[in-house]
């Protein structure tokens, strides 16, 4: 009897959470029709004038080319048309939006520097 009660309670909690997540503003802005960036490379220049190439590996690893060299110590996450990247254990972070073959957004690092970035699919 208690097991049945707990099962029903968990089911109700799960349904409530699903409604809350689906109704959240972040999901309302997100375009679920945006293709995954996994397995693609994008390139562009940031507002500091630095050129970057980002390769979004399928396992969530971000390989990137920066003015300082080529690295594989980054990670990425995509939620619809939203993109998030971090490099060097969150020394710097980038957040943005994807629109077709273009993405752009804002960036910051642990030293307090802020800038914007943009990249196009190669």
Instruction: Give yes or no for residue 80 having a pLDDT over 70.
Output: yes
Q: So what's the pLDDT on residue 29?
A: 47
pLDDT in tens, 28-45: 444 468 999 999 999 999
Q: What is the mean pLDDT of residues 32-61?
A: 96
DSSP string, the chain: -HHHHHHHHHHHHHHHHHHHHHTSHHHHHS-TTSPP-TTEEEEEE-TTS-EEEEEE-TTSEEEEEETTEEEEEEEEEEETTEEEEEETTTTEEEEEEEETTEEEEEEEETTS-EEEEEEEE-
CATH code matching the domain that covers 34-121, chosen among 3.90.230.10, 2.40.128.20, 2.60.120.10, 2.30.40.10: 2.40.128.20
Higher pLDDT, 61 or 12: 61
- How confident is residue 70, by pLDDT bands cut at 50, 70 and 90? very high
**Residue ranges of domains in the chain:** 1-30, 34-121
Q: So what's the pLDDT on residue 118?
A: 98
Q: What is the mean pLDDT of residues 13-39?
A: 62
């Amino acid at each position: 009897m208690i097991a049945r009660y707990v099962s029903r309670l968990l089911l109700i909690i799960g349904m409530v959470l699903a409604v809350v997540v689906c109704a959240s503003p972040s999901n309302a802005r997100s375009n679920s029709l945006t293709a995954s960036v996994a397995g693609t490379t994008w390139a562009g220049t940031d507002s500091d004038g630095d050129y970057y190439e980002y390769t979004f590996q399928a396992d969530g690893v971000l390989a990137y080319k920066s003015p300082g060299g080529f690295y594989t110590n980054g990670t990425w996450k995509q939620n619809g048309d939203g993109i998030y990247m971090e490099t060097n254990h969150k020394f710097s972070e980038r957040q943005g939006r994807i629109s077709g073959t273009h993405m752009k957004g804002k960036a910051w690092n642990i030293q307090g520097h802020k800038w914007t970035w943009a990249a196009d699919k190669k």
